[in-house]
Structure formats: structure tokens, C-alpha cells
């Protein structure tokens, strides 16, 4: 009975992603006993490793949400999201200007940034869905050109925003103890979830991702659906870009969101989603994103330098991916069976 229950739980899609996250956290707890300590600092803001992880992973979560849908619908990845973040940040900062007061209202800056990000997504979507170019090749265009475009917008300078309330989005609102990015990330996840669950989009995306030919014949517009997911991915990148810009209240077109596209893809994969498209789990990608950030933060906490970080990260990622691979699971099951048989023999 009990064994059956355990078996049932391990078959649950998110079981392994959650186990991986817990393992990373557990390791931290042993290494850094104060890891889970949350305190309030002098500014009245919650403070601690765990808050830091969730805060820092906000952009990644948002990117991973958009990436999940791209992967699901087209079995391809959008590798331009990091560059799109830079473009969005550049647009936002150049609209607002680096004077003592904004050149335009704050929300206009954000809106402009999101609009341009959606355009970037639409461009990718056009290439992938309409021209049927391989997603990686199609998004490679913006991946390489995006940061250049951002440089053009900023005139090659690092623009600083001097108005104080620009920082709110990337840090905290006055009298609110929780960092704003966390709210934004939660908001994006919930809204996306509702969008998928309250419309037929969830089923459509999976159907198109699994078999686009059959989907067309049963009345779905595969092109439009793939296009929409890329546009949405662009929007997510825009939101992440604005947050990242706000964090450092400036735009550095060369460094905002650098290499984040790879982390986003990894988050999708760590979440137990197949990069081959089709069925997907939004929650899995979110867990994957948090796992990656937890990993980075904990490695920093252990005193690993930023230069060496990728190596350690790679090792852990290899472990996690192996743990989740079907071959490994098969192996474990086989061992289990052998053991059961042995016990059976002994009893006999």
C-alpha cells in the first residue's frame, strides 16, 4: 500500500524537479546553517539567502515562462531573449532620459519597452512560424543583432536614470518588505497560467507542438499559435529587461541579461519539460528557474568566484540532468526489480 503510494508520487511529473531543488537547498543548509534565516534589515525589507534567491530568480522565472511556451509549440528555443532584454531596457531608459526628471511618464517608458520587446518576439515568430526557419537559426539573428540595436538606441553609452522611483521595480516599494520583482514574477506566472487554463490555448499549444500537421487538419492555425508563443516570449523578455534595468537603474546594453537565454532554456529542461515540444509544465519551469538561481547563490555563498562559477554550475547541472534522464530512471527501476527478485528468492 505504502509502496504503491510512493510509486505513484514518483510518477508525478514534477517529482524529480522538486527533488532536485530540495537537494540543492538541503546541501546549502548543511554548508551554510544560516541559509534559511530571514531577517528584516534597517530599511524594513526582508533579508536572507532564501529571499535573495527568489528575488534574483525573478527575471529567470519570467523568461522561463515564455520559453516554455516556445519550446512546447515549436520544439525550438528562442535564444534571443537575453538580447531582447537589453533592447527593452535601452528603449525604456532612452524614453525616460537621464535628466533630474523623466522626459516622459514612467509608465510610458515601460510600455514602450514592452511594445518593442513584443515586436522583437513577433519578428522571431514571423521567421519561425511563417517562414518556417529553424527556431535556433531564426532567433540567432536577434541574438547577435539585439545588443547592437540596444547600443544604437543608447548611442553606445551607459544611460543612468537619476529619478528615485525608477528603482522601485527592481528593488522594493516603500513600506513593502518584499522585493518587487517577486511580485512581478508571481503575477506573470499566475496570469500566464490563467491565460492557458481559461482558454483553449493550453490544448492548442500542446497539440501543435506534438503534431502540427494533424493540428492543421483538425482546424487549428498552427502558424498563428507558434507566432503567438514567440510574441509572448518577447513580452516576457521585455518585462525581465525592465526589471533588470531597474535593478541597476541604468542600461548597460552589453551586459543586461547576458547568457540568461541559456539559463532560461536550462530552466525549462530542469523542470522536466521535453525540449522536443508538446506537453509542458509551467510549474516545472518555475521550479527549474529557482533551482538554477539557488545553485548560483549558494555557490557564491560558499565563496566561489564569479569566474569559476560556470564550472561548478555545470557539474551540478550534469548531475541533475542525469538524475532526470529516462535512462537513469530505467536503471534505477531495474536495480529495484533485481533487489525484489533477490528478496523473493531468499524467501523461497
| Selected range binding other proteins among 58-66, 94-102, 209-217, 306-314, rule: CB under 8 A | 209-217
Which is closer to other proteins, CB of 217 or CB of 306?
A: 217
CA distance 225 to 337: 44
Extract the C-alpha cell encoding 293: 538561481
Decide: helix, strand or coil at residue 330. Answer: helix
From 82-90, 107-115, 180-188, 204-212, give the range in contact with other proteins by CB under 8 A.
204-212
201 binds other proteins (CB under 8 A): yes
Asked if residue 13 binds other proteins (CB under 8 A), the reply is no
- Cβ distance 226 to 128 under 8 Å? yes
Give the residue, chosen from 29, 38, 176, 200, that forms a contact with other proteins under the rule CB under 8 A.
200
| Residue 217 binds to other proteins (criterion: CB under 8 A) | yes
Question: Closest separation between CB of residue 198 and other proteins, Å?
Answer: 6
Q: Assign 317 to helix, strand or coil.
A: helix
Measured distance CA(109)–CA(292) in Å, rounded: 30
If the CB atoms of residues 55 and 212 are measured against other proteins, the closer one turns out to be 212
Under 8 Å between Cβ of 255 and 89: no
Copy the grid coordinates of residue 211: 503534431
For 266, the enclosing helix (H) or strand (E) is helix 260-270
Q: Cell digits for 297?
A: 547563490
State yes or no: residue 230 binds other proteins (CB under 8 A): no
Which residue lies nearer to other proteins by CB, 105 or 276?
276
- Looking at 148, 278, 304, 323, which residue binds other proteins (CB under 8 A)? 278
Task: For helices 222-247 and 81-96, give the axis angle rounded to 10 degrees.
Answer: 60
Q: Which residues contact 66 (CB under 8 A, 6 or more apart)?
A: 78, 81, 229, 232, 233, 234, 235, 236, 237, 264
Q: What's the closest the beta carbon of residue 121 comes to other proteins, in angstroms?
A: 19
Among 37, 216, 329, 342, binds other proteins (CB under 8 A): 216
Give me the half-sphere count of Cα atoms (radius 13 Å) on the Cβ side of residue 240: 33
Q: If binding is defined by CB under 8 A, does position 220 make contact with other proteins?
A: yes
Residues 214, 302, 315, 318: which binds other proteins (CB under 8 A)?
Answer: 214
Return the range that interacts with other proteins (CB under 8 A); candidates 51-59, 103-111, 153-161, 194-202: 194-202
For residues 120 and 220, which CB has a smaller minimum distance to other proteins in the complex?
A: 220
Binding residues for other proteins (CB under 8 A):
198-201, 203-204, 206-207, 210-211, 213-221, 278-279
Amino acid at each position: 500500500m505504502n509502496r504503491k503510494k510512493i510509486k505513484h508520487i514518483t510518477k508525478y511529473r514534477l517529482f524529480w524537479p522538486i527533488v532536485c531543488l530540495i537537494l540543492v537547498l538541503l546541501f546549502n543548509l548543511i554548508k551554510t546553517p544560516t541559509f534559511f534565516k530571514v531577517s528584516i534589515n534597517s530599511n524594513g525589507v526582508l533579508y536572507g539567502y532564501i529571499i535573495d534567491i527568489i528575488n534574483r530568480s525573478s527575471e529567470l522565472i519570467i523568461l522561463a515562462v515564455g520559453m516554455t511556451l516556445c519550446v512546447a509549440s515549436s520544439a525550438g528555443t528562442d535564444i534571443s531573449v537575453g538580447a531582447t532584454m537589453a533592447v527593452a531596457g535601452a528603449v525604456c531608459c532612452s524614453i525616460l532620459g537621464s535628466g533630474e526628471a523623466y522626459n516622459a511618464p514612467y509608465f510610458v517608458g515601460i510600455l514602450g519597452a514592452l511594445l518593442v520587446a513584443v515586436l522583437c518576439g513577433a519578428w522571431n515568430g514571423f521567421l519561425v512560424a511563417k517562414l518556417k526557419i529553424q527556431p535556433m537559426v531564426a532567433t540567432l539573428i536577434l541574438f547577435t543583432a539585439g545588443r547592437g540595436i540596444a547600443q544604437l538606441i543608447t548611442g553606445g553609452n551607459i544611460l543612468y536614470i537619476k529619478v528615485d522611483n525608477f528603482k522601485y521595480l527592481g528593488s522594493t516599494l516603500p513600506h513593502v518588505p518584499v522585493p518587487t520583482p517577486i511580485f512581478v514574477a508571481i503575477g506573470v506566472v499566475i496570469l500566464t497560467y490563467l491565460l492557458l487554463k481559461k482558454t483553449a490555448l493550453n490544448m492548442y499549444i500542446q497539440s501543435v507542438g506534438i503534431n502540427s500537421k494533424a493540428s492543421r487538419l483538425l482546424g487549428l492555425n498552427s502558424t498563428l499559435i507558434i507566432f503567438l508563443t514567440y510574441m509572448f516570449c518577447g513580452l516576457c523578455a521585455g518585462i525581465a529587461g525592465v526589471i533588470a534595468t531597474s535593478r541597476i537603474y541604468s542600461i548597460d546594453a552589453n551586459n543586461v541579461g547576458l547568457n540568461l537565454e541559456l539559463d532560461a532554456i536550462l530552466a525549462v529542461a530542469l523542470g522536466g519539460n521535453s525540449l522536443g515540444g508538446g506537453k509542458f509544465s509551467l510549474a516545472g519551469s518555475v521550479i527549474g528557474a529557482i533551482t538554477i538561481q539557488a545553485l548560483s547563490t549558494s555557490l557564491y555563498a560558499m565563496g566561489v568566484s564569479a569566474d569559476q562559477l560556470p564550472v561548478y554550475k555545470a557539474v551540478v547541472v550534469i548531475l541533475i540532468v542525469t538524475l532526470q534522464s529516462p535512462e537513469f530512471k530505467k536503471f534505477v527501476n531495474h536495480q529495484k526489480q533485481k533487489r525484489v527478485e533477490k528478496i523473493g528468492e531468499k524467501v523461497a
